[in-house]
Amino acid sequence: MIIHTPKPVLEVHDLTVSYNSKPVLWSVDITIPEGVLAGIIGPNGAGKSTLIKAIMGLLPMASGFVKVFDKPLEEVRQRISYVPQRESVDWDFPASVFDVVLMGRYGKLGLFKKPNAEDRDIAMSSLEKLGMANYATRQISQLSGGQQQRVFLARALAQQADVYFMDEPFAGVDVATETAIIELLKELRAEGKTVLVVHHDLQTVTEYFDWLIMLNMKLVASGPSEKVFTKELLQETYGGRLTILSKIGDLLKNEQFPIRER
């Protein structure tokens, strides 16, 4: 069940993504309305992170296009914020918590310019929103997993964007952090921002999200939670791989075959 929306904030059209010629996401079509808190769910290897990485332009698309606010991504980067998985960086890097949060301002600053007092204020209040103000001068290698995640979210907030893509912000964090994050997400939604979150925990799905994207190498469903969070669709999402689809993927990889003729 794929429910489309007339004036989408995010439009993904016929998106296919391959790793080493093997498609991991097949022809995904999604439209997301403004101001929703959307969860991206699916089993391991379903392509959840791949989807947002491809939308952010971090992975090449084998087919399709992405539009945000009806424009190509490059034109609206300033309005989009991305929170990578926290394992994706080396936390031994010589930087303080504040240094990292200030990076959220770099996109707006442009080349050669140094962050000014206003940028610092924004970074500090972003840290405050995540209850991390006391940690501003702390070296990042001393943070716990939950604190690392809060730092990444504060950095994203400092961008003052309108759309947020978050890759597993709830993975491996403590209960207090999870609560703090979900409060923040609801606050963002109340401000009319759109948030897409890769999520793992089915228990909390309906409580957290009002829109769901259900993936398993293909798009199973996309729509309001109350409509798509059904037994049948969950069964389809989590009930194992489509054997023939996987087989074709392996063939493409083994033969190094292109997914589009071109």
Partner 1 sequence: MDQVIAFFSFADINTRFVVLGSMLLAVSTAVVGCFSFLRNRSLSGDAVAHAVLPGICLSFMLTGTKNPIYLLIGAFITGWLSLLASDYLKRKTKLKEDTTIAIVLSVFFGIGIVLLTAIQQSGEASQSGLDKFLFGQAASLVGPDLIVFASLAIVLLLATFLFFKEFTLLSFDKGYAVSLGLPVKFLEILLSSLTVLAIVTGIQAVGVVLMAAMLITPAAGARFWTDSLVKMIWIAALLGAVSGFAGAFISYVGPGLPTGPWIVMVLSGLAILSFFFAPKKGVLFLYLNQQKHRRKILTENVLKAFFHAGEVEELHKNAKTEAEIQVIRPMKPEELSYALRLLRRSYLVRKTGTTTWQLTDKGFIQAKRVAKLHRLWELYLATYLNLPPDHIHDNAETIEHIITPQVEQWLEQQLNYPKTDPHGETIPY
Interface residues with partner 1 (CB under 8 A) are 53, 56-58, 74, 77-78, 80-82, 84, 88-90, 93-96, 99-100, 103, 106-107, 109, 111-112, 114-115, 139, 141, 155, 159
What b/e readout covers 5-31, taking b as 16+ CB neighbours within 10 angstroms?
A: beebbbbbeebbbbeebbbbbbebebb
Residue 74 C-beta: closest distance to partner 1, Å: 7
Residue 23 C-beta: closest distance to partner 1, Å: 19
Residue 47 C-beta: closest distance to partner 1, Å: 17
HSE-up (13 A, CA, CB side) for residue 191: 14
Are 44 and 236 in contact by the 8 Å Cβ rule? The answer is: no
Residue 164 C-beta: closest distance to partner 1, Å: 11
Please identify, using beta-carbon distances, which residue of 106 and 238 lies nearer to partner 1.
106
Please identify, using beta-carbon distances, which residue of 78 and 206 lies nearer to partner 1.
78
Please identify, using beta-carbon distances, which residue of 33 and 84 lies nearer to partner 1.
84
Query: Which token pair is 124?
Result: 């500090």
Q: How far apart are CA 50 and CA 112, in angstroms?
A: 32
Please identify, using beta-carbon distances, which residue of 176 and 202 lies nearer to partner 1.
176
Q: How far apart are CA 199 and CA 176, in angstroms?
A: 17
